[in-house]
Amino acid sequence: MIYEVQGDILLSSAQVIIHGVASNDHFDNGLALSLRERWPAMVKDFRHFCQTTHPKSGEAWLWSGTGGTHILNLLTQEEAQGHHSKPGKASVENVNHALRACRHIIDKEGFKSIALPRLATGVGGLDWNSVMPLIRNHLGDLAIPVYVYTQFIKDKQAPEQDNH
């Protein structure tokens, strides 16, 4: 069940927040920066994950923190080429593979609700009209609420269904 909402995804009551990043991302822009500020341990753990497993674009990594926090990091962008360089752009192929990996994790973990932004359209540079059909394809038949934050409004809690 996909619900398109407007508001601040960090105020979501969903069990999992999903976002797009690159391998070895610095988490210094947009939602990633907000996540880094709120959960710095996630970024530290993500860096360790990247250094030990060398994930490829199109994969996904789940972080579970204290208090039941879950962040699902989708590797939608190409990895930065140098130590201080910016990550590359996202691709439809990477988003497709990452959403497939995302769906596998959601099914395996039995999550009851998820929230995601306009995935890969900010820093990733993709057109939303190319991304939303992929979200519908991979997550549209889930029997849980899928909150797609189509517009960010800082400090505004989106109206979410209370069935999770």
What domain range includes position 110? Answer: 2-152
Q: Which residue has the higher pLDDT, 28 or 53?
A: 53
H-run or E-run covering 98:
helix 92-109
Residue 162 in any domain: the answer is no
Residue 161 in any domain: the answer is no
For residue 95, give the nearest of 114, 71, 122, 65 by alpha carbon.
Answer: 122
Pairwise CA distance, residues 161 & 145, whole Å: 8
Report the domain count for the chain. Answer: 1
CATH number of the domain residue 140 falls in:
3.40.220.10
Residue 10 in any domain: the answer is yes
The tens digit of pLDDT for each residue in 130-151 reads 999 999 999 999 999 999 999 9
Contact (CB, 8 A) for 118 and 131: yes
Residue 127 in any domain: the answer is yes
In degrees to the nearest 10, what's the CA dihedral of 93, 94, 96, 97? 120
Residue 160 in any domain: the answer is no
Residue 157 in any domain: the answer is no
Is 62 buried (19+), middle (13-18) or exposed (0-12) by CB count in 10 A? middle
What is the reported pLDDT for 163? 44
The tens digit of pLDDT for each residue in 111-134 reads 999 999 999 998 899 999 999 999
